[in-house]
């Protein structure tokens, strides 16, 4: 672990391949305060990331260390890589002039490869009241609503100019989700804080009834979990409570809308089935039309061969039979002409015999 000094930030920037501007700030007063909140943030990242140790590097370690490493390897998978997480991220009024009064995310998770395109995370050590946390969520709401002109000259939500997330679909455009992680170090009981927080922030997250699911257009998906549950179950386990729901879910389901997804999947399946049925009807109609055309296709009057499309308008005979008929007609005409010539010659011979010398007229 590196000290969060300027040199430490430079080293971490090199390791992560990030510019210094994205590395956060140096620790101030961490030693005197015990840095409980930064450590809780770190533990939250580790609980979500669930890094897998390389067992080949532990051949000389004690049996207890090997067992702990093996347990980490066998545990459920985490979300993203270390580069997917950013901490102490300001959510300002403008990118150029952050100003005061804006929200600051403890963690921003960007892991689209694991189905978590964008997630903002607040970590609470149970020192804050529900009202204080609600005020933070209200700042998130204001930030998500801010619009600026993008490079194409069109207005766009400010957060979309920095992070990628799913675009509006099927008439819904929900902002990115916010996850609240409670680390029970302080005196406040999260089991009491969450119901009050849910009540205070109702306008921010409450959906509208739809066909078998809730629509969350322009509503913030807000979920809560405890750090202990997060460590135990990981992001793929039932450790997250979505505001407005009554049961624990895996992270992807808690910040998503599985009922809506299932309904849309059924709708898409019905649409595919209808399209397939329509295409089958077209295919059968085309085959029937082809069969009717074949049945009506004319045939040669001589040999019975069906005409092709080019010869569809032929009167009665195919080309070979037409050629044969033409040859027969030519021969008949030659025979007729030859017969006429022969008859004419025979007549001429009879007339000429009358005028031979020595014969009486």
Structure token pair of residue 203: 């306008």
**Domain coverage including residue 285:** 262-296
Task: Express each pLDDT in 76-93 by its tens digit.
Answer: 889 999 999 999 998 887
pLDDT value, residue 358: 57
- Mark whether 15 and 56 lie in a shared domain: no
* Mean pLDDT score, 176-193: 95
- Mark whether 98 and 228 lie in a shared domain: yes
The packing angle between helices 130-145 and 190-200, to 10°, is 40
* Mean pLDDT score, 31-40: 70
Work out whether strand 103-111 and strand 85-91 pair parallel, antiparallel, or are unpaired.
Answer: antiparallel
Q: How far apart are CA 75 and CA 68, in angstroms?
A: 11
How high is the mean pLDDT of the chain?
82
- Mark whether 47 and 16 lie in a shared domain: no
Instruction: Give the CA angle between residues 349, 352, 358 to the nearest 5°.
Output: 130
Structure token pair of residue 245: 């729901």
Q: Are 195 and 224 in contact (CB under 8 A)?
A: no
- Mark whether 178 and 276 lie in a shared domain: no
Percent of the chain scored above 90 by pLDDT? 37
Report the domain count for the chain: 4
Least confident of 141-145, 159-163, 172-176, 186-190: 172-176
Helix and strand totals (H; E) in the chain: 11, 10
pLDDT confidence bin for 270, thresholds 50/70/90:
confident
**Look-up: residue for tokens 């459920």?**
76
Q: How far apart are CA 55 and CA 36, in angstroms?
A: 30
Q: Which stretch of DSSP H or E encloses residue 169?
A: none
- Mark whether 107 and 145 lie in a shared domain: yes
Q: Is the pTM of this model over 0.75?
A: no
- Mark whether 93 and 176 lie in a shared domain: yes
pLDDT value, residue 58: 79
- Mark whether 139 and 224 lie in a shared domain: yes
Strand partners, 121: 107, 179
Backbone angles phi, psi at 242, to 5 degrees: -80, 130
- Mark whether 96 and 172 lie in a shared domain: yes
Of the residues 202, 230, 256, the one at which a domain ends: 256
- Mark whether 171 and 58 lie in a shared domain: yes
Q: Are 42 and 226 in contact (CB under 8 A)?
A: no
- Mark whether 230 and 101 lie in a shared domain: yes
- Mark whether 160 and 109 lie in a shared domain: yes
- Most confident of the following: 50-59, 270-279, 310-319: 270-279
The residue among 284 and 102 whose pLDDT is bigger is: 284
Of the residues 193, 225, 256, the one at which a domain ends: 256
- Mark whether 192 and 335 lie in a shared domain: no
Does 99 have pLDDT greater than 60? no
Instruction: Give the CA angle between residues 197, 200, 201 to the nearest 5°.
Output: 85
Percent of the chain scored above 70 by pLDDT? 81
């Amino acid at each position: 672990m590196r000290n969060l000094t300027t040199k430490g930030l430079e080293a971490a920037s090199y390791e992560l391949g990030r510019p210094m501007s994205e590395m956060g700030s140096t620790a101030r007063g961490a030693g005197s305060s015990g840095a409980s909140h930064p450590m809780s943030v770190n533990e939250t990242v580790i609980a979500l990331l669930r890094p897998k140790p390389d067992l080949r590097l532990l051949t000389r370690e004690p049996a207890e260390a090997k067992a702990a490493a093996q347990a980490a390897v066998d545990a459920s998978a985490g979300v993203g890589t270390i580069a997917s997480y950013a901490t102490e991220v300001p959510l300002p009024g403008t990118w150029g002039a952050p100003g005061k009064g804006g929200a600051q995310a403890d963690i921003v998770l960007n892991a689209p490869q694991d189905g978590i395109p964008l997630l903002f995370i607040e970590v609470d050590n149970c020192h804050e009241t529900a009202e204080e946390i609600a005020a933070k969520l209200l700042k998130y709401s204001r930030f998500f609503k801010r619009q600026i002109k993008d490079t194409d000259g069109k207005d766009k939500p400010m957060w979309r100019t920095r992070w990628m997330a799913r675009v509006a679909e099927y008439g819904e455009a929900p902002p990115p989700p916010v996850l609240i992680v409670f680390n029970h170090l302080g005196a406040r009981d999260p089991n009491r804080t969450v119901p009050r927080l849910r009540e205070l922030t109702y306008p921010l997250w409450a959906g509208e009834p739809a066909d078998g699911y809730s629509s969350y257009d322009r509503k913030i998906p807000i979920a809560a979990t405890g750090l202990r549950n997060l460590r135990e179950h990981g992001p793929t386990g039932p450790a997250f409570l979505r505001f407005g729901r009554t049961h624990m879910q895996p992270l992807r389901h808690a910040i998503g809308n599985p009922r809506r997804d299932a309904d849309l999947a059924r709708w898409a399946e019905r649409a595919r089935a209808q399209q397939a049925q329509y295409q089958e009807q077209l295919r059968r109609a085309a085959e029937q039309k082809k069969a009717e055309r074949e049945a009506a296709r004319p045939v040669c009057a001589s040999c019975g061969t069906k005409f092709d499309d080019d010869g569809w308008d032929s009167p009665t005979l195919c080309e070979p039979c037409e050629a044969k008929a033409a040859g027969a007609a030519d021969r008949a005409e030659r025979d007729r002409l030859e017969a006429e010539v022969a008859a004419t010659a025979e007549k001429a011979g009879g007339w000429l015999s009358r005028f031979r010398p020595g014969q009486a007229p």
